[in-house]
Amino acid sequence: MPAAEAPFLLACRREPVPHTPVWLMRQAGRFLPEYRAIRSRMSFLELCRNPDAAAEVTLQPVDILGVDAAILFADILLVLEPLGLGLSFSPGDGPSLAHPVRSPEQVKSLPRVDVADSLAYVFETVRRVRSGLAGRVPLIGFAGAPFTLASYAIEGGSSRNHERTKRFLLEHPAAWSDLMSRLVDVTADYLNAQVAAGAQAVQVFDSWVGHLAPADYSEAVLPHMRDLFARLDRSVPAIHFSTGTGGYLELVRDAGGDVVGVDWRVPLDDAWRRIGYDRAIQGNLDPVTLLGPREKVVERARQVLAAAGGRRGHVFNLGHGVLPETPVDNVRALVDAVHEWSVR
């Protein structure tokens, strides 16, 4: 099938589809025994830096689940390493940065990053995945959004309430803006290089931006998101994902993504009406649904499809990533149900 006719890309462009395409955030990961088998032989960062192994785990969900797109196996935090922040992952505790950014002076002294050199292994993975896919489904590249990256850079790891990050943007608005601009620079280069290597869509993950009040989003984040989307290679669709932003989806839309991802806290039909039907929408099943009985998975999936109303431009996904304890059979049942119930 020519790439242009893949249901996932058709839906991103709001063109008619034979069935609603479905893929799942974190579809390559710990819930798959085949992923755990590879991870038992190398650490997470070793896996990310090994293009053969990373390409293999990128392809696993395509073969095992029958999803309509592959997502590159990598991590949003990889760009923080060439910025000199000292990235590591420890089992159980998640990511940790040895040199977090805590002052305006530290922002000023961050190095300029040449992604072609420092993240070459990611682009090599993209090329290997494209050849392994042999046109079966499109490949999505991705990066973290500047706010979510800044929150890891400032907090030094995962955080419940992002206090240090929010204080930084209130106390040091000029340094905050400088940090965001630098993150936009590296993220635009990084995503454009993924597209040059063969990524057929890109997704920007703003996982934690929903912790901000709308006024802070408008002032401290939105101008940088607009700048980022304006600088992306738009020969491929750009998906803008965030969580917890149901209170200001109109602002998220104004950032300029082609496809707006929504979480499960907002009904998909309301979200789409507010975002506007001139954009595609992605979402929004609660990932925890997949831990429940099979009948509920299918029933809730049908409700999401009903909320999309058969309109052009729906990409089915979860509202956030697949949880590690998710039964594989439930995910297969979800993918099959979406395909079956959405046949046009």
Q: Does the footprint of ligand CP3 cover residue 44 (CB under 6 A)?
A: yes
Q: Does the footprint of ligand CP3 cover residue 71 (CB under 6 A)?
A: yes
Q: Does the footprint of ligand CP3 cover residue 26 (CB under 6 A)?
A: yes
Q: How far is the CB of 52 from ligand CP3 (least distance, A)?
A: 16
Q: How far is the CB of 2 from ligand CP3 (least distance, A)?
A: 25
Q: Which is nearer to ligand CP3, 25 or 290 (CB)?
A: 25
- Active-site residue flag, 279: no
Contacts of 167 (CB under 8 A, 6+ apart): none
- Cis peptide bond N-terminal to 50, omega within 30: no
What DSSP string runs through 280-342?
EEEEEE-GGGGGS-HHHHHHHHHHHHHHHTT-S-EEEEESSPPPTT--HHHHHHHHHHHHHHT
Report the residue from 217, 281, 321, 326 that binds ligand CP3 according to the rule CB under 6 A: 321
Reduced to 3 states, what is the DSSP secondary structure of residue 103? coil
Given the residues 68, 75, 206, 258, select the one marked as catalytic. Answer: 75
Q: Does the footprint of ligand CP3 cover residue 190 (CB under 6 A)?
A: no
Q: How far is CA 85 from CA 109, 111, 150, 201, in A?
A: 12, 10, 11, 28
H helices, E strands: number in the chain: 16, 9
Dihedral angle at the C-alpha atoms of 93, 98, 103, 104, nearest 10 degrees?
-110
Contacts of 215 (CB under 8 A, 6+ apart): none
Contact 35, 29 (CB under 8 A): yes
Report the residue from 207, 282, 326, 342 that binds ligand CP3 according to the rule CB under 6 A: 207
Report the residue from 142, 147, 168, 316 that binds ligand CP3 according to the rule CB under 6 A: 142
Q: Does the footprint of ligand CP3 cover residue 39 (CB under 6 A)?
A: yes
Dihedral angle at the C-alpha atoms of 168, 142, 266, 68, nearest 10 degrees?
-170
Dihedral angle at the C-alpha atoms of 208, 311, 16, 5, nearest 10 degrees?
20
Q: Does the footprint of ligand CP3 cover residue 27 (CB under 6 A)?
A: yes
Binding range to ligand CP3, per CB under 6 A, among 87-95, 232-240, 273-281, 328-336: 87-95
Contact 137, 8 (CB under 8 A): yes
Report the residue from 31, 147, 168, 205 that binds ligand CP3 according to the rule CB under 6 A: 205
Binding range to ligand CP3, per CB under 6 A, among 26-34, 179-187, 194-202, 216-224: 26-34
- Active-site residue flag, 152: yes
Q: How far is the CB of 20 from ligand CP3 (least distance, A)?
A: 19
Quote the tokens at residue 91: 């089992």
- Active-site residue flag, 130: no
Given the residues 30, 164, 274, 302, select the one marked as catalytic. Answer: 30
Residue 269 has φ and ψ, to the nearest 5°, of -65, -40
Q: How far is the CB of 213 from ligand CP3 (least distance, A)?
A: 20
Rg (the chain; Cα; Å) = 19
Given the residues 13, 26, 265, 294, select the one marked as catalytic. Answer: 26
Q: Which is nearer to ligand CP3, 115 or 175 (CB)?
A: 115
Catalytic residues: 26, 30, 39, 75, 152
Give the interface with ligand CP3 as residue ranges (CB under 6 A): 25-30, 39, 44, 71, 73, 75-77, 89, 94-95, 142, 158, 205, 207, 321
